[in-house]
Amino acid sequence: MATNHLVLSGTITRSRSFHSPSGIAHSVIMLEHKSQCYEAEMLRNVYCQMQVILSGERFESVTDKLKIGVDIEVQGFIALQQSRNGQNRLVLHAENVELKT
């Protein structure tokens, strides 16, 4: 069996919520991550932005707290998503979210 699990912490830089036509609640946030990690025995600055999707009723209680500037940690799986203009990107689908601030 293949493994697909990612844990990423960072600061929310964009946030929007909506309901799908079938009535499922979704929140889409942009998570900005900054840290330092060792690679080849050298300290390296790490920076990335990743879109995070939170779907379903279990996230409705936290959705109103997911505002710009809030620090969170997200656990979930990544999947390829194609935008309207045809560009591919990896997106993190949340399974658990923890507020850090």
Q: Which residue has the higher pLDDT, 67 or 101?
A: 67
Q: What is the largest CA-CA distance in the chain?
A: 51
1 in a structural domain: no
What CATH number is attached to the domain comprising 73? 2.40.50.140
The torsion defined by the Cα of 82, 96, 54 and 16, in degrees rounded to 10, comes to: -110
55 in a structural domain: yes
Rounded distance between C-alpha atoms, residue 86 and residue 95, angstroms: 26
Q: Domain range holding 15?
A: 6-99
pLDDT value at 101 more than 80: no
Task: Count how many domains the chain has.
Answer: 1
pLDDT in tens, 46-94: 999 999 999 998 898 888 899 999 999 999 999 999 988 999 999 999 9
Residue 54 structure tokens: 């939170």
Mean pLDDT of 7-34: 95
71 in a structural domain: yes
Rounded distance between C-alpha atoms, residue 36 and residue 45, angstroms: 5
Contact criterion met (CB below 8 Å) for 18 and 26: yes
The pLDDT > 90 percentage for the chain reads 83
